[in-house]
Amino acid sequence: MTGSVRNMMKEIPKVDRVLAWPEISGLLAKHPRPEVLVAIRTVLVQLREQLLDNSDSTLPDTARISALISSELESRTRPSLQTVVNGTGVVVHTNLGRSPLADEAEEAILNVSSRYSNLEFDLQTGERGTRYAHVEGLICELTGAEAALVVNNNAAAVILALSTMAQGREVIVSRGELVEIGGSFRIPDVMRQSGAQLVEVGTTNRTHIRDYLVAITEATALLLKVHTSNFAVVGFTAEVSVADMSSLGRESGIPVMLDAGSGCLMDLSPYGISGEPTVSQYLAAGADVVTFSGDKLLGGPQAGLIAGKRQFIEAMKRHPLLRALRMDKLSLASLEATLRLYRDPRRALVSIPTLRMLTMTAGDLDHRADVIVRRLRRSLPDTVTLVKHRGESSAGGGSFPLLQLPTTLVEVVVAGHSPLQIEAALRRTMVPVIGRIHHDRYLLDVRTILDRDLPTLSQSLAEASAGLAKEKP
């Protein structure tokens, strides 16, 4: 430690003295005293560390230290999990919470969250009921399945299904489908966890029905197909369809399971979104069990849905793992509300935000961009310019990996500041805005900006541009 740093360390004020500063006693009127004390201590420790790390640094003045304490308090009162504006154009964005819920689903959560409910109570008989009954019928109705079950997420659904149907036995999977979904969900690892033994067949780019046929032995419990959700193999490729796998399964007396990943309940091909069969199509093709997520294309809460033949679903309901993988009542309520919307497909397209965003036309989006730009303009200083561009958005969430949906982007230009600076400033506003930088432009995709985001987006842009204006250029 140099002499000057040692002297400065001695000048770092004591907590008691800081408490007496007028700026800080003002904070005591608004925040509980223990909170103010924590903020003071945190900032003083940071100052000490800065001085030790960098012998050139100097101790800030009282006004600056007070400002640091005030912003520390501010950030302590803000929840860690907070809303953001998604300007990335990725509709099912896993890092940004996947699917925003429909109003009906939100209302269902509010309804059951603060009062008692018939979660596991049968109102007809007055006896104990099951939480799964609230959605099983709906899932069967919408997919044509004999039986259905829901768990915490699709990863849990796959583990439960494999543990129930294949523990200690062999499961045949194509080498082209040994996928990693991200966040450490890898088919070979999941298989090991469920106590099933993986038998790989075929090659990365080509697998044929005879590859499955020759791999079948006495020990085979299941033929598993995994939707290659987040990538595509192109060129010289071959995969076996669910229909062909199911024929083989029937002939050999072995069930066929499909991990469908995103789980589409509605045919979206009329909207230019094709290539993803629906769950009913998979079941009609003969799959015995299909698992899929609740918060991807379905547009609901985090959930894992399992639809299929009664004998397998009933066995899963009796499996001891189910208790550990069970869904909570809030998700269950919002899943039920979301599924109900699918009874009227036209209503689903309008009310479920994920479906609404995916099916917006280029014309809708261009108009939307005009509305947004006009609205934002009103509250922005002249240093901020908004420029419309054409671009592409993607579905995200492990669905339609190659799909590029034409969209309209709004470029945000702040005079004297780089796209990187703009990105950082917008990411730190009260309601953060997440956009993307492409070809040295900071861009917001209007597809994923929700109507309820519009007032906050104006505020955040104004806040960010004011912040940038204060920064030294």
Contacts to ligand PLP by CB under 6 A: 153-155, 181, 185, 226-227, 229, 259, 261-262, 293, 304, 398
Alpha helix locations (H) across 91-219? 103-113, 133-143, 154-166, 187-193, 209-215
Q: Which is nearer to ligand PLP, 187 or 199 (CB)?
A: 187
Rounded Cα distance between 26 and 73, Å, is 13
In the bound state with ligand PLP, the residue whose beta carbon lies nearer, of 134 and 227, is 227
Q: How far is the CB of 334 from ligand PLP (least distance, A)?
A: 15
> Within its chain, how far is the Cα of 472 from the centroid?
36
398 and 230 Cβ atoms separated by less than 8 Å: yes
Q: Among residues 257 and 426, whose Cβ is nearest to ligand PLP?
A: 257
Q: What is the closest distance, in whole angstroms, from the C-beta atom of residue 181 to ligand PLP in the complex?
A: 4
What stretches of 31-78 show up as alpha helix (H) in DSSP? 33-53, 62-77
3-state SS, residue 275: coil
φ/ψ (deg, to 5) at 419: -55, -35
Q: Kindly tell me which of 292 and 342 has the beta carbon lying closer to ligand PLP.
A: 292
CB of 286 to ligand PLP, least distance (A): 19
Between 275 and 381, whose beta carbon lies closer to ligand PLP?
275
Closest approach, Cβ 381 to ligand PLP, in A, equals 42
* Helix locations, 224-361, DSSP H: 242-252, 279-284, 310-318, 321-325, 329-341, 345-351, 353-358
- Provide the minimum distance between the beta carbon of 262 and ligand PLP in the complex, in angstroms, as a whole number: 6
Which residue lies nearest ligand PLP, judged by its C-beta? 261
| Beta carbon nearer to ligand PLP, 88 or 154 | 154
Residues in the chain: 473
**Minimum gap (Å) between residue 434 Cβ and ligand PLP:** 20
- Beta-strand relationship, 384-396 and 304-308: unpaired
Q: Which is nearer to ligand PLP, 233 or 386 (CB)?
A: 233
* Residue 468 to residue 416: CA distance in whole angstroms: 9
Return d(Cα 469, Cα 458) in angstroms, integer.
17
Q: How far is the CB of 279 from ligand PLP (least distance, A)?
A: 13
